[in-house]
């Protein structure tokens, strides 16, 4: 603290931000997309767009799903039925297969299978293409990919901790928060980047602070397990705690190993709906179906509250007798956590609020991007003299430049490629969902490697232009690959509206990237003109990519 608080905070802000900024860009992009997880999944299954489904009463729908599961996975450890809601039109059933008799058990997740079931027939919707849809983007946001979940969550948590440090130190560093509240001065080099960084950060500061802190809360039992470990000692302490606190893991005891027929589930659904004054159910979980110790857990659909936790009823799976109700009167501590968690997920948001969350997420992307660019601009100015005399930029600057291009302009390419893959990969392909995901990462890797080879203004233009073409091109691609393109959904007014909204969002994103590309093109022309007027002066070129 030799140089005073503000300077040391500025140093802290710079480095806590720079070290994790490229990871944060991925997290912000994936997280913003996750607010429309269901809509993205729906868009990625165009076979569902045409059908007008008659709503089926929930008890009947659940009975049909059970019959399907009895056929498909009678031996499963656990069954899940997620029922249609206002935002997701299809019924999805899933099961966790029993661990293999020989060989390692593996995680429950690795033995999980799920498929869409038609509510009217109880049969698998074979015609619908296989895709992870928005679920992949949601998982990407905290589980990354191609690595154990636990590692990924630690990496993302550390990124979030750095982000929290960067936000607090940024507020202290930025001494003129109220004076500069409305200030943005365009076309002034470093000044403009700083203004843009401040505006994106300050105007959405409530969101950034909330989302970073609550993001850490979502992983709090992993980051800070000691409280639970102290209060629930002994082996299996943590799982005992989860069973006690969280409705969705209630009733997960051990199987008896004796067969017993499963009770009829339809009446239980009716009973639960009556118990909740007619509120619909969101999820039906059946632990150890066909076993003497089977349990049935019915979870209510989300009510409009900030808390994300919904109460659940637990029934004996053989006799059908209600055993417990979970989460009906949660403790104040539990509600506090559930509200913080719920704020992060935004499940309570109606379409208007959802859009506001999404826009705030994009402003977070811009905040991180402008901060990373600002570092490069400042460093380039420090090295300006040496560069003007013909020296090459330092390796640090070159690396940051390349990473900036590969992340800021490369991520849109990856996202758009994922959507292109969904439309273009052959429908009967095996492992199709994984192939779509691979396209996402291949596209991103190509962008990142190209950026490392030739970081510079030209590469910015190429990648921003490619992103713009890919995003806007999705709308055209739909005309050739679906019957639910904008001509049908918007011009003929047939809907479905979420699909039209997705396409219009793609157009808007494409237009923004194109605008950015045009601005850079203008700057490149100006620089070339300046360089032509003063031959031999390389000075004009040092502002490149600033």
Partner 1 sequence: MTLSGFLLALGLAYCAWSALALAMDRHYADVHGRGAEPAPALRQRLRWLGALALLASLAVAIGMQGWSIGVVGGIGVLTLAGILQVLSLSYWPARTPWLARRILCALPLLLLLWWLERSL
Please, what is the minimum distance in Å from the beta carbon of residue 204 to partner 1?
Answer: 5
Please, what is the minimum distance in Å from the beta carbon of residue 371 to partner 1?
Answer: 17
Please, what is the minimum distance in Å from the beta carbon of residue 507 to partner 1?
Answer: 20
Question: Residue 62 or 204: which CB sits closer to partner 1?
Answer: 204
DSSP class per residue in 395-461: HHHHHHHHHHIIIIIHHHHHHHHHHHHHHHS-TT-TTHHHHHHHHHHHHHHHHHHHHHHS-SHHHHH
Q: Give the interface with partner 1 as residue ranges (CB under 8 A).
A: 179, 181-186, 199, 203-204, 206-207, 304-306, 343, 348-350, 352-353, 356-357, 359-360, 363
Of 364, 380, 416, whose CA–CA distance to 215 is shortest? Answer: 364
- The sign one gets for the Cα dihedral 151, 153, 156, 161 is negative
Question: Residue 22 or 35: which CB sits closer to partner 1?
Answer: 35
Give the start-end residues of each E strand in 264-380.
Answer: 281-287, 295-300, 312-316, 322-326
Please, what is the minimum distance in Å from the beta carbon of residue 156 to partner 1?
Answer: 24
Of 148, 31, 40, 35, whose CA–CA distance to 418 is shortest? Answer: 40
Please, what is the minimum distance in Å from the beta carbon of residue 343 to partner 1?
Answer: 7
> Do residues 498 and 490 touch, judged by C-beta distance below 8 A?
no
CA separation for the pair 218, 123 (Å, rounded): 36
Question: Residue 152 or 306: which CB sits closer to partner 1?
Answer: 306
CA separation for the pair 357, 34 (Å, rounded): 10
CA separation for the pair 462, 545 (Å, rounded): 13
CA separation for the pair 119, 52 (Å, rounded): 12
Please, what is the minimum distance in Å from the beta carbon of residue 20 to partner 1?
Answer: 24
CA separation for the pair 73, 442 (Å, rounded): 35
CA separation for the pair 249, 228 (Å, rounded): 16
Distance set, CA 277 to CA 36, 267, 504 (Å): 29, 15, 39
Q: Exposed (0-12), middle (13-18) or buried (19+): which is 379, by Cβ within 10 Å? A: middle
Question: Residue 23 or 200: which CB sits closer to partner 1?
Answer: 200
Question: Residue 204 or 468: which CB sits closer to partner 1?
Answer: 204
Instruction: Tokens for 203, please give them.
Output: 């105007």
Please, what is the minimum distance in Å from the beta carbon of residue 199 to partner 1?
Answer: 5
Question: Residue 309 or 402: which CB sits closer to partner 1?
Answer: 309
CA separation for the pair 446, 468 (Å, rounded): 16
Please, what is the minimum distance in Å from the beta carbon of residue 1 to partner 1?
Answer: 33
Q: 98 — alpha (psi -120 to 50), left (phi > 0) or beta?
A: beta
* 219 three-class SS: coil
Please, what is the minimum distance in Å from the beta carbon of residue 27 to partner 1?
Answer: 20
Question: Residue 228 or 356: which CB sits closer to partner 1?
Answer: 356
Question: Residue 109 or 179: which CB sits closer to partner 1?
Answer: 179
Question: Residue 258 or 333: which CB sits closer to partner 1?
Answer: 333
């Amino acid at each position: 603290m030799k140089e005073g608080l503000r300077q040391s905070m500025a140093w802290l802000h710079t480095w806590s931000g720079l070290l994790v900024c490229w990871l944060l860009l991925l997290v912000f992009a994936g997280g913003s997309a996750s607010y429309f997880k269901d809509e993205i999944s729906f868009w990625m299954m165009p076979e569902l767009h045409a059908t007008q489904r008659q709503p089926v009463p929930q008890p009947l729908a659940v009975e049909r799903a059970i019959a399907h599961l009895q056929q498909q996975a009678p031996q499963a450890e656990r069954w899940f039925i997620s029922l249609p809601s206002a935002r997701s039109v299809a019924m999805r059933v899933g099961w966790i297969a029993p661990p293999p008799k020989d060989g390692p058990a593996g995680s429950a997740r690795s033995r999980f299978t799920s498929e869409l079931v038609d509510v009217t027939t109880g049969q698998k919707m074979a015609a619908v293409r296989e895709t992870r849809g928005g679920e992949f983007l949601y998982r990407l946001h905290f589980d990354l990919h191609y690595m154990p979940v636990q590692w990924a969550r630690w990496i993302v948590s550390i990124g979030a901790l750095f982000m929290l440090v960067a936000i607090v130190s940024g507020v202290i560093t930025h001494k003129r928060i109220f004076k500069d509240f409305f200030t943005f001065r365009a076309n002034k080099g470093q000044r403009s980047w700083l203004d843009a960084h401040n505006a994106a950060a300050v105007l959405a500061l409530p969101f950034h602070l909330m989302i970073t802190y609550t993001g850490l809360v979502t992983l709090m039992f992993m980051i800070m397990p000691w409280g639970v470990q102290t209060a629930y000692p002994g082996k299996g302490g943590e799982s005992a705690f989860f069973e006690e606190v969280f409705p969705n893991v209630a009733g997960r005891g051990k199987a008896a190993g004796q067969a017993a027929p499963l009770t009829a589930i339809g009446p239980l659904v009716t009973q639960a709906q009556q118990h909740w004054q007619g509120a619909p159910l969101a999820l039906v979980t059946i632990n150890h179906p066909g076993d003497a110790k089977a349990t049935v857990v019915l979870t209510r659909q989300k009510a409009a509250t900030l808390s994300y936790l919904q109460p659940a009823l637990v029934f004996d799976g053989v006799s059908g007798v209600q055993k417990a109700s979970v989460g009906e009167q949660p403790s104040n501590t539990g509600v506090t956590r559930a509200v913080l968690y719920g704020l992060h997920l935004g499940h309570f948001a109606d379409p208007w609020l959802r859009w506001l969350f999404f826009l705030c997420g994009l402003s977070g992307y811009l905040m991180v991007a402008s901060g990373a660019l600002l570092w490069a601009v400042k460093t380039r100015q420090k090295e300006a003299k040496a560069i003007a005399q013909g020296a090459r930029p330092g390796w640090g600057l070159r690396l940051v430049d390349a990473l900036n291009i590969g992340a800021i302009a490369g991520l849109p390419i990856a996202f758009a490629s994922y959507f292109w893959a969904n439309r273009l990969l052959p429908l009967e392909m095996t492992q199709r969902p994984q192939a779509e995901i691979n396209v996402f990462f291949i596209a991103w890797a190509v962008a990142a490697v190209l950026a490392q080879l030739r970081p510079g203004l030209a590469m910015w233009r190429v990648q921003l232009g490619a992103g713009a073409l890919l995003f806007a091109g999705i709308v055209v691609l739909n005309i050739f690959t679906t019957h639910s393109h904008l001509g049908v959904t918007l011009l003929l007014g047939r809907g479905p509206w979420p699909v039209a909204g997705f396409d219009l969002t793609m157009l808007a994103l494409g237009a923004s990237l194109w605008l950015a590309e045009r601005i850079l093109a203008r700057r490149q022309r100006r620089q070339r003109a300046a360089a032509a007027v003063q031959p031999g002066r390389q000075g004009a070129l040092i502002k490149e990519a600033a």
